[in-house]
Amino acid sequence: MKTNQILAKMREGQLAYGYSLNFPSPTVIELMGQADFDYVWLDGEHGPFTPETIEELCRVADLAGVTPIARVPDISSATILRFLDRGIMGIQGPHIRTGEEAQALADACRFAPIGKRSFGYGLRSVPPSTSAPEFMAQLNAQVLVIAMIEDVEAIENLPELLSVDGIDLFTVGAFDLSQSMGVPGESTHPTVINAVVEVEKQVHAAGRKMVSDVMLATSATGLLLEGAREFLKQNKTA
C-alpha cells in the first residue's frame, strides 16, 4: 500500500513540499521526482485532464515517488470516484458552501463504514495478497480530503463545515471569494484579506488545520519559466 506523504508529514508535524501542475505532462512529473518533492497537485477543475491522462500521471507519480492529489471540477460522487479510481490520493473539493456539501465531499472519498465511496475491481483495486475489507480500510487511511472555501455563504456556514470530521484540511480560494464578495479579481482587497484571516482564525480555534499549515507548493510552470528566464538573463548579458 502506498503512503500518502502529505498525511505522513502532517502526522509528524512537518511540512509537505509539492508543486502544482495545470496541464498533463508525465515528463514533468518524472523530472520533478528527481528534486525530492513530496506531492504533485493536479488542477482537475481548470486544467485539461481526462481519466486516461490522470491514470497515466498517477502511474508516473508512483514511479517518481510523489503523492498525486487533485482539485476536482465538482464534488459529485461519480466525479470524485473517477479521480480516486485512477490513483489520486487526495481530493480538493471546490466551492464547499455548507456542512451538507462538506459531508458529501468526505463521504465520496472514503469507503464504508466512514464513507460512501463505491468499490470496483480494476488495475488499481485489491492486490492479490490483500482482502477487500483490508484494502478498503488501508485506502481510507491514506486519502486526503480538502475543502475549498470560495463563497460568502461558506464563511457564514463555517461552523457547519468545521463540524464535519471527514475533512482533513481547509483552504480559501481568494479569487473566487473576491467575486462572491463583490470585488471580482481583487484577491488582495482588504475585505477579502480580512475574510481569509477570519477563516483561518475559526479553523484554528476549532482545532482544525489549513492547507498552509501542512503543505507548501510552487508552480511547475513557474519553475520552468523562472529557470529559462534566468538562463537567458545570464547568458545574454555575459
pLDDT at 154: 97
Distance CA 17, CA 40 (A): 9
Distance of CA 176 to the CA centre of its chain: 17
Is the separation of the CB atoms in 54 and 47 below 8 Å? no
Q: How far is CA 153 from CA 98, 104, 128, in A?
A: 8, 17, 46
Is the separation of the CB atoms in 108 and 115 below 8 Å? yes
CATH of the domain at 229: 3.20.20.60
If one counts the domains in the chain, the total is 1
Distance of CA 122 to the CA centre of its chain: 23
Strand ranges inside 87-160, DSSP E: 90-93, 144-149
pLDDT at 132: 84
Omega before 113 within 30 of 0, i.e. cis: yes
pLDDT, mean of each 10-residue run, the chain (238 residues):
92 95 93 92 95 94 96 97 95 97 98 93 66 89 97 97 96 96 94 96 97 94 87 81
Q: Which domain holds residue 223?
A: 5-236
pLDDT at 124: 63
pLDDT at 238: 59
- Tens of pLDDT along 143-197? 999 999 999 999 999 999 999 999 999 999 999 999 999 999 999 999 999 999 9
Is the separation of the CB atoms in 66 and 41 below 8 Å? no
Is the separation of the CB atoms in 167 and 105 below 8 Å? yes
